[in-house]
Amino acid sequence: MFLACRREFASIISDEGVLVFFLFLPLVYPLIYSLVYNKEVARDVPVVVVDDSRTPSSREYVRMFDANQGAKVVGYAADLNEARKAMNEKRCYGILMIPSDFDEKIGRGEQADINLYCDMSLLLRYRALFVAATDVSNAMGADIQAQAAGAVASDPLPHFAFSIGNSAEGMASYVIPGVLVMVIQQSLVLGIMMLGARRRQRHTAYGNRIPAMTTIWGRALCYMIIYLPMTIYVFLLVPRMFDFPSTMHIGTVLAFSLPLILAVIFFGMTLQVIVREREDVFLLFVVTSVLFIFLSGLTWPRVGMPFIWQVVGGIVPSTWGVDGFLRINGNDASIAQVSTDYLMLWLLAAAFMGAAYLVEKFIDGRNSGNNC
């Protein structure tokens, strides 16, 4: 096992492509993603108002909208065309249009409408404007109902929201832990596949001297030595560098990372059978990266996916790793509280270890025949 581990270290050090996957990606990509998402929320998004009502009620709505932290009224426009011109020139990212019958409908006790047009080039701006319009509409509606009913207080039962785990309510605090799991998996899997393709191209066979099971565990030891410290950097140091909310502890990170990395290692060893040339790895990188992100449930809940995609996602280690680390990071969950994800990772590690053993026996057999 030590011999196989030493040989794998020598192969990694002598291969620039593998060094890119094993060192550059996990060291640099988390920084790039964190910089991209560092502005977690949008504040004071510029908005132009088209007020066709021009009544005290419409002016009150605009005043409350401008006072909201998500929006900032930068001016008025005579009509929608003038407002669209301002949006096209990037002087604003939203248009608030108040219809001419706004005050009349309120006076008759009918539902009044507000039209909000948003620039969808950045979802953070859309979210900020949508939340601002919703908050103002709810608050103004409550005041109108209270006045109509003759209530003394417009808000007899106030409510307060507290975001547990994601205090900033930001995109990065939610997305980054999941993305970091994907970085760990993709860099490790693709590096292993590239090493496998290199051995197949050179017809290198170790099976005649080292048993297949010992070989895969020796290589796994090599990868673990590299990636366990990398997980500490990725999940503990990077969030603190960018002040992302994080409740992870080193013990929990290492305990959960162990089955995750083992499952990913044996997953990569199993997939190396489909790679014959090193260049094929880059094609797989493009195809699988986006697919695995969607299957993980990071962008869409897995319970809302068709059953077949839930099954496919269930055999990918990152799916359970993303779910587990999101709970650990956001809710300070313990290993016992993410036991389903934890046990599934161990199960996948055991299953892919058996598959990797069969693949190694197959590749060693073919390489031995070619050498003869």
pLDDT given at position 212? 85
- Helix, strand and coil in the chain, % to nearest 5: 65, 5, 25
pLDDT given at position 171? 65
Strands 115-118 and 94-98: antiparallel
Query: Average pLDDT, stretch 153-174?
Result: 61
pLDDT given at position 360? 85
Cβ atoms of residues 326 and 174 within 8 Å: yes
Whether 204 has a pLDDT exceeding 60, the answer reads no
pLDDT given at position 46? 92
pLDDT given at position 369? 53
Whether 372 has a pLDDT exceeding 50, the answer reads no
Instruction: Please enumerate, as own/partner, the contacts of 334-341 that have beta carbons within 8 Å and a separation of 24 or more.
Output: 334/252, 335/252, 335/255, 335/256, 338/256, 341/256
pLDDT given at position 160? 64
Lowest mean pLDDT among 311-315, 324-328, 365-369: 365-369
pLDDT class of 257 with cuts at 50, 70, 90:
very high
The Cα–Cα gap between 39 and 109 comes to: 41
The Cα–Cα gap between 204 and 75 comes to: 71
Q: Which of 155-159, 165-169, 310-314 has the highest mean pLDDT?
A: 310-314
pLDDT tens digit string along 124-134?
Answer: 788 888 888 88
pLDDT given at position 370? 54
List, in sequence order, every beta strand (DSSP E) within the chain. Answer: 45-51, 71-76, 94-98, 115-118
Strands 71-76 and 115-118: unpaired
Considering Cα of 292, then 320, then 323, then 328, what sign does the dihedral take? negative
What's the mean per-residue pLDDT of the chain? Answer: 83
The Cα–Cα gap between 342 and 259 comes to: 7
Query: Average pLDDT, stretch 256-263?
Result: 94
Rounded to two decimals, the pTM is 0.73
The Cα–Cα gap between 17 and 328 comes to: 33
The Cα–Cα gap between 314 and 296 comes to: 8
pLDDT class of 207 with cuts at 50, 70, 90:
very low
pLDDT given at position 72? 92
Burial class (CB in 10 A: 0-12, 13-18, 19+), 35: exposed
Residue in 40, 314, 319, 311 with CA at minimum distance from that of residue 178: 319
Whether 45 has a pLDDT exceeding 60, the answer reads yes
Lowest mean pLDDT among 12-16, 210-214, 250-254, 299-303: 299-303
Q: Torsion over CA of 348, 171, 234 and 17, rounded to 10 degrees? A: 80
**What is the three-class DSSP state of 304?**
helix
Residue in 196, 194, 179, 262 with CA at minimum distance from that of residue 228: 262
- Name the token pair of 182: 């994907």
